[in-house]
Structure 1
Amino acid sequence: MFEASEVTSPQEPTAAPGVVLDASTVTAWTEALLNVSEAVGDDDARIDVIGALETLKSAIAAAQAELSVDFDESMRAKAAASGVGKRRQGRGIPEQLALARRESPYRGKRHLGLAKLLRKELPHTRAAFRAGQITEWAATLLAKETACLEVDDRAKVDKEIAGDPEAVAKLSEKQVGDQARKMAAKLDPASVAHRRAKAEKDRRVTIRPAPDTMTYLTGHLPVGQGVQVYAALKKAADTLIAGGDERTRAQIMADTLVERVTGKAQAPAVPVMINLVVSDQTLLGTSHDPAHLDGHGTIPADLARELVATALEHEIQTWLRKVYASPHGGLTAMDSRARIVPHGLARLIRTRDGGICRTLYCDAPIRHIDHATGIANGGETVEEDLQGLCEGCNYAKQAPGWTASGHHSPHGRHQVTTTTPTGHTYVSTAPPLPGWAELEPRRLLAVPEPEDPTDLLAEYELIDVEAA
């Protein structure tokens, strides 16, 4: 798909002569925008500036894309000159870009992929993007909808939609995507059908946090199945409403989904494992410190107590794991001489890091317990030198030029300092544990102190439901 092709490149926008673009110049723009309200005096001018800033936003995103490709090519060339194999030359590059953009490594990879694609196969879309005539998302939609096409067909779609700068500037993001989808289906229906078959294999269900301690449960399904599921839920809701149910249609559809999937009228009664980190004071009702629910994040104290109480009420086996914290909310150290991280210490690290990858801006779940300073470089299997990382971030830091070290900050929480091959330094701090105290140590659960101070992570204990 990235083979060279005969594509006529449009006229590229050029910078004004004598303009030097560096980080200090861009920083000056940012500072100038702080006083924009004072600089713009009337409503006509405000609308003009708002429109110009919108164009600038797209042009800035395009400039980031251009610099990302340049950075990728330069870093790969340096790696090749150092004898790094071709398959490993790109390792760590998207992650460096993501740190600079303050976004997750996944988004960094997506942005770099789009930037390379625009330069190699979509010259008209690239030109419109650089001129600020289309947004980054519009460029992304055009690229996604033509991903199944051969280079020549993709070039036709690119020229047809983005070849006229004035026309493409009048299209909405959705219209750009719709037009690209229609043209792709007409130019190569077989590849579109193949792409649909592949997408059906990728069907899945995902969950992510939502505001107000809610969650988004998403089913990525073939269109026929998705429509059937929605129609069945809507029909059930309409039937209950006709019978006098006072809930809204949306509420009934949500409740029906839970009941049909779990087989229970009350979802909390389903015996599945959830990891809830809560202080003893919150659990016993003497504090309102929030708790942490694995896979979601912070939840209020009353909801944490409700989850535990509901489990006990329905006689579900409930297990408590004892973890002990320092005075400032950080977990107490736990040593091991083994290179392989013991299970107990691994659970400690996951709890300390909140279940989320420690790389700045990365929201992926922890998959690997990693030595910040590798064993080969003198690292040890101790709490201070360990961090929880997602799979991608762990592999990225294995690229040449990456270094990291773990340590504790003055306030007691664990920190990891990471330095990238360009010399930029980033410091990641572990989140404070629920219910941390400033003056005295606090345990996460009301259990006896261990006789052996090194036994910081005890085995599971089963609560006697009847006795409770």
Structure 2
Amino acid sequence: MPTAQHPPTAAAIAAMRREVQVALDGPSGLDDAGRLDAIRALEELACTVSAAQTALAAELAESVDGDQETLGIPADRRGQGVASMVALARRESPHRGRRHLGLARVVQRELPHTWSAWRAGRITEGRATVIARETACLSLEHRRAVDEALASDPVAIEAMSDRQVVAAATAEAARLDAASLVLRRRKAESERCVSIRPAPDTMVWLTALLPVASGVAVHAALTREADTARAQGDPRTKGQVMADELVARVTSDGADRGPGVTLDLVMPCDALLGTSDQPAHLVDLGPIPAELARELVAGAVASGDEVWLRRLYASPTTGELVAMDSRARLFPAGLARFIRLRDQVCRTPWCDAPIRHIDHVKSHGTGGPTSGHNGEGLCEACNYAKEAPRWRARPGPDGSVTTTLPTGHTCSTRPPPIATIRRRTLPALQVDYVLTG
């Protein structure tokens, strides 16, 4: 079988995949020991396949760098768009594509023992990523020394857990260059942030990346508040008290309410009126049940918060937003707001990142009009990627956007429908409510 050093062609890979698929069509005929051996063999194959993807990604990056050099692209801008190309091929987000490409650029050249264990199927891409991450702060000489200490024995590295690998890499890095760990800690502290992502059952994960002292202090304060409340007979669980207290402290929700918070809720008007249960869409979060959407609106009205209604017109055949009522005046950038509401998340396939840029599909400099038809919502990374050399994007008459990569591959996207169930050709409603005192 071809190795990661000499990856097979796409046709050969397709033939191997068909063979595996045929084997899945019926009972294997193996005993339990044979089944376990086969699972292990497939796991090693999966590791080798991921290593082959990495080798090809590194080759692609070198090829694009050379091509952009011939075009006169400055060195600090070369490689733009490669991570997005890799992400599209792997059917994953550009963020994951950048991580994969970053690993591909360094693992063969700077971590030879890790690369050898990976392409032999002894470690996963995740394990190789951990080693690369934990040695990123070191010089090339020290990085290779840690790589040799950890991965020169493939049997030993295979038997270690990720936590053991982190501990061993940190200890070896501290022995070789303790100052680098201090610089790494300071850099990590500068990257503190708060993020949000959807969770099941119309919940969200609100995550804060904090310096260890700050994080422990926040958790201790919430724990202390929960223990006090429970001791006084509060029927809520400890976790519920901590979550409610976090919301109350951050939003100043109570007697002393802080500045207003705007929530953008898009829903069919008949769902708002209670005559249907078509799902709504909470901007930057995703779909929510109609019942919850009505509760949010009713609760905002009952509490005296400001509620704005804006009519958004959806196509009766596709459910895509096609126009917005011109009377809306909550924000002056009405067209940009309409595109943001229509596209919901970054238009790049498999990205799903929040929209940060509203930009022309066909650039304004080449005659592209500033219109809803020629506009799309993208995250910052994807908007920069489409500006790379030899990338082309064109809007289609049906509202689609077709992007052509430098390799000639194309991908097309359409705005998501405002609702999956369409019983009437009624306009949708944009419900903005501002939480004020």
Q: Is TM > 0.5 for Structure 1 vs Structure 2?
A: yes
- 1:255 aligns to 2:239 (yes or no): no
2:385 aligned partner: 396
1:344 aligned partner: 334
2:312, 2:323 within 8 Å by CA — same for their partners in 1?
no
Q: Which amino acid aligns with 1:406?
A: P
How far apart are 1:462 and its partner, in Å? 9.3
1:433 aligned partner: 418
Distance change in 2, residues 1:284/1:425 (3 Å): same
Distance change in 2, residues 1:16/1:311 (3 Å): closer
Please state whether the residue corresponding to 1:219 is helix, strand or coil: strand
Distance 1:436 1:323 in 2: 17
Deviates more, 1:222-231 or 1:265-274: 265-274
Distance change in 2, residues 1:78/1:262 (3 Å): closer
Distance 2:144 2:165 in 1: 15
2:328 aligned partner: none
- 1:52 aligns to 2:41 (yes or no): yes
The superposition leaves residues 231-252 of structure 1 with CA deviations (integer Å, 9 ceiling, x where unpaired) of 2222222232233333222122
How far apart are 1:398 and its partner, in Å? 1.7
1:442 aligned partner: 426
2:3, 2:119 within 8 Å by CA — same for their partners in 1?
no
How far apart are 1:393 and its partner, in Å? 1.4
Structure 1 residue runs of 5 or longer lacking an equivalent are: 1-12, 335-341, 447-459
Distance 1:462 1:235 in 2: 33
Given candidates 211, 223, 247, the residue that maps to 2:200 is: 211
How far apart are 1:201 and its partner, in Å? 1.9
- 1:24 aligns to 2:22 (yes or no): no
The alignment-based identity, stated in percent, is 48
Given candidates 256, 260, 265, the residue that maps to 1:276 is: 265
Given candidates 395, 398, 406, the residue that maps to 1:421 is: 406
- 1:367 aligns to 2:351 (yes or no): no
1:333, 1:384 within 8 Å by CA — same for their partners in 2?
no
1:353, 1:430 within 8 Å by CA — same for their partners in 2?
yes
Q: Which amino acid aligns with 1:184?
A: A
Distance change in 2, residues 1:117/1:395 (3 Å): same
The count of aligned residue pairs is: 425
How far apart are 1:268 and its partner, in Å? 11
- TM-score, scaled relative to structure 1: 0.85
> Which structure 2 residues correspond to residues 204-353 of structure 1 after superposition, within 5 A?
204-264=193-253, 271-328=260-317, 329-332=319-322, 343-353=333-343
Q: CA RMSD in A?
A: 2.7
1:324, 1:443 within 8 Å by CA — same for their partners in 2?
yes
How far apart are 1:374 and its partner, in Å? 2.2
Distance 1:347 1:22 in 2: 45
Distance 2:4 2:314 in 1: 58
Distance 1:113 1:462 in 2: 42
2:84 aligned partner: 95
Distance change in 2, residues 1:266/1:25 (3 Å): farther
Distance change in 2, residues 1:232/1:361 (3 Å): same
Distance 1:151 1:252 in 2: 49
Please state whether the residue corresponding to 2:313 is helix, strand or coil: coil
Distance 2:341 2:7 in 1: 48
Please state whether the residue corresponding to 1:445 is helix, strand or coil: strand
Hey, which of these two has a bigger chunk of strand by percent? 2
Distance 2:373 2:251 in 1: 41
Q: Which amino acid aligns with 2:395?
A: G
Distance change in 2, residues 1:147/1:274 (3 Å): same
Structure 2 residue runs of 5 or longer lacking an equivalent are: 325-331
Deviates more, 1:240-249 or 1:419-428: 240-249
2:327 aligned partner: none
1:268, 1:311 within 8 Å by CA — same for their partners in 2?
no
How far apart are 1:298 and its partner, in Å? 0.3
Q: Which amino acid aligns with 2:391?
A: W
Given candidates 143, 157, 175, the residue that maps to 2:132 is: 143
1:148, 1:191 within 8 Å by CA — same for their partners in 2?
yes
The superposition leaves residues 176-233 of structure 1 with CA deviations (integer Å, 9 ceiling, x where unpaired) of 1221122212221111111111211222221111111101111111111111211222
How far apart are 1:15 and its partner, in Å? 4.0
